[in-house]
Amino acid sequence: MPNDSQVSVEAALMPGDPGLVREAQGWLRRLASERRLSPKTVEAYARDLRQFLAFLVGHLGETPGAVGIVALKPVDLRAFLASRRAEGVESRTLMRQLAALRSFARHLSQEGYGPASAFAAIRGPRLPKTLPRPMSPAAALAMLDTGTRAGSEREAWILARDAAVLALLYGAGLRISEALGLARRDAPTGDVDAVTVTGKGAKTRSVPVIPPIRRLIEDYLAICPYGLAPDGPLFVGAKGGPLSPRIVQLATAELRGALGLPETATPHALRHSFATHLLGRGGDLRAIQELLGHASLSTTQMYTKVDAARLIAAYDAAHPRAGRA
């Protein structure tokens, strides 16, 4: 969670009159403390508001204030979105920026500046409907095999570490940030068959860890050259510091090359594969939702579409009465 000094710095960078800067500071603090958004989300929202206010300086010809923000018209918001689009910003980012601006507008309304109706009236850009692309079970398991990178110049303990991290993504459905956020004392080894992780919104959940995944973690710990403090990270980098997600992504890219997998075979694809393969084997959708840490069942339901798409593809490829005929 961002501390007060970080929030103050973010707010101080806002182009606006003192009253608006003060409201921005209160809004960011509320996002962090009451809504418990992650520090990165708060930082992104602050950046979105800062870009919007900078745009308004040129668009309106004056430094914006809180009253001026709630008085904006839909045409003003459309002009901002159009300017961002012209800069090459994608629809998903525009949707997040619009969500940030709506949140700030609601804050101003709650603080007595009046209804900011333009923010509710504007429609965001449509997002392309894309389904996650899971790997095959064989490909996912091959990524967890240290033998896949046997010809690599990496040290044995680093190969074991990478296999253990990826095993938590595929074997327990963790996000990469959740796996790298584990402390040494929380390592699921021996008879410890579950791990507590902190997910989005600082929400915690308990996830079972099956024996093959625990063995990979034990293999890594047995040859890790560093003494890991109980409160320190479970997974460390080559110099003993916290392991960076970028290192895991690079290891996955090396595995893709060794296995001939497509660019869609990413660390997050292992998490998608975990959910899709569970569902394909008759897993309960509600249980999968809890395992993944999804706040809404609708987010988990996309895996039913993935599984249906896989079945249709298999039918088209093999059935004599399929459309390919």
Give the active site residue among 149, 271, 272, 277.
Answer: 271
Annotation says 73 is catalytic: no
Annotation says 175 is catalytic: yes
* 218-226: long-range contacts, CB 8 A cutoff, minimum separation 24: 218/189, 218/190, 219/160, 219/163, 219/164, 220/157, 220/160, 220/161, 220/163, 220/164, 221/187, 221/189, 223/156, 223/157, 223/160, 224/157, 224/160, 224/161, 225/157
Give the active site residue among 29, 107, 175, 277.
Answer: 175
pTM: 0.60
pLDDT digits (tens, 9 = 90+) for 284-325: 777 777 777 776 666 666 666 655 555 555 545 555 655 544
The answer to whether residues 10 and 37 touch, using CB atoms and an 8 Å cutoff, is no
| Kind and range of the H or E run holding 194 | strand 194-198
Annotation says 294 is catalytic: yes
Angle between helices 211-223 and 156-172 (to 10 degrees): 160
What pLDDT, on a 0 to 100 scale, did the predictor assign at position 325?
42
pLDDT digits (tens, 9 = 90+) for 124-156: 777 665 656 788 889 999 999 988 887 778 899
Give the active site residue among 113, 170, 220, 303.
Answer: 303
Give the active site residue among 85, 205, 268, 310.
Answer: 268
Annotation says 303 is catalytic: yes
Give the active site residue among 96, 200, 205, 310.
Answer: 200
196 - beta bridge partners? 206
- Mean pLDDT value across residues 83-96: 87
